[in-house]
Structure formats: C-alpha cells, structure tokens
Amino acid sequence: MRANLIGRLRTMIFSALLIQALLFGIAGSAGAAPIFTFDSNAEGWTNQATEPFSVTFAPGEGFGEGEALAISATFPRDSYQIVHDEDSDWPTAPSFFQKITFDVRLVPGVEINPLVTGMQIRDNIGNESNVYLATDFIDLGGGWTRVVMAPTNLFDLPQSHDDVGINLHIGTTSAFENSLVMFIDNIAGVQSVPITVEIDIKPGSDPNSINPRSKVKIPVAIFTTSPFDTNPQSSCLASLTSTNTLSMFNAGI
C-alpha cells in the first residue's frame, strides 16, 4: 500500500514539479566547459611571456597520479600567471560560470595567497575581463587542494597582466626562486542548469496536499537518481513558487 502510494506520488510530482538545482560539484547536475586535465600534454598553457618562471608538462604528477602542469620559479617571485589562448567554451561574458576550480599540489613551505589567486578571461587587451577570485579551498587528500573561484565585479584580477585569453593567476604568501613551486591539474568552469528529480512531499502523509500560499515549512524527501546525488555535501535550500515550481538553491555547504 505504502509502495503504491509513493509510486503514484512520484509520478504525479515528477510530472508537475521541476526542481531547478543550482548545485556545486555534483556530477551531471551542472554543465561545464571542457576540463583541462593535462592527460597528454600542456594543452596550450604557458607562462606569462614577460615573467621569470616556467610551466612544463609533468607526467605522473597529476591528481590521481595522472599528469599535471609543473610551475617553477626562476627568479624571486610570489605570483604566477599561466595563460591559454581564447576559447569559445570559456567566454568573456561576466559571471558566465557559477564557479571555476582547479586542483593544486604545493611544494612544502608554499602557501597560496587567496587575495590575488583567481582567473580572468579577456578578448582584447585593455578590455574589461571576466574575473573570478578564490573563495574556498577543499582538501582532496594526498597533498592536493581544490581551489574554488567565484565571479566578481572586478575589472582586472589583482597583480595580473591583461593578456588576451584564459589567465589563471596564482599568488603565494612568500617569494620563491630557482625551485619547483606547485603542480596544477583539472582546471574547470561550471555552469548551472536545470535538472528534474523525484520527490515525496510530506513523506508518510496521505494525502500529500500543499498550500503554495502557506508560510509554514513543508518537509520534502528528495530521491537520489542519476545524475542527482542527495549526499550531505550537496545541501540545498528549497522554495515553492506560485507557479508550482519547487526551486532548490545551493546552501553553501
């Protein structure tokens, strides 16, 4: 009886409600630009032309023992801007991506300066760029950290050059010279897109009626389906609109 009720509710709710999930880091729940994984070469990334540091392809040094980019200082410096030619999948439109991430493994003693770590995407020298700045750091284990960058209203990234194309700028809290500084892997831009999932409003109740004009909180069970994962790290806030659309938004957890 209970199984039949849930089945009917799933069918009814699935056809009546669209959950717009604006989620971070859930496979399949967000559209993404092609990820630079460096599994065969440097994929067009180089050092900023006038800066004294090197960017080289590093087989076996990437996240998960794949490949990466190795960044080494040749003269004392505390910032490193690596650049890539323009790419239609990485547009200059402000806040095009909900976030941009990259994975980094720092040499012992090196610490990132978040105030000058970010990305800017520019289509012409002198033009305003699409700027993202580091906001979060996620420990991936094995010495790897995922740097999460969010959109800003900045015209330029602090301490960066106005190179055309995709520019990843990484600042460190101290200057280094004649030494390896870090490895970079998995540079990715993520966009939000709507997805549809199955839910059960007021689990255990019969009937499952709701009043869209009510101000009270309504318990909703959200079912894990491919590609949607309801794990605790994907916590969201939800609201029911007057058009009977249940909208979910990332809760920053």
* Predicted pLDDT at 68: 95
pLDDT in tens, 132-172: 999 999 999 999 999 999 999 999 988 888 889 999 999 99
Q: CB–CB of 98/190 below 8 Å? A: yes
Residue 11 has pLDDT above 90, yes or no: no
Q: Using pLDDT thresholds of 50, 70 and 90, give the confidence band for residue 94.
A: confident
The strand pair at 246-250 and 20-22 is best described as parallel
* Predicted pLDDT at 195: 63
pLDDT in tens, 201-224: 888 888 777 777 777 777 878 777
User: 151: helix, coil or strand?
Assistant: strand
Q: Where are the domains of the chain?
A: 15-29+193-250, 31-191
* Predicted pLDDT at 10: 44
* Predicted pLDDT at 248: 46
pTM of structure: 0.67
State CA 61 to chain mean position distance. 22
User: 103: helix, coil or strand?
Assistant: strand
CATH code linked to domain 31-191: 2.60.120.260
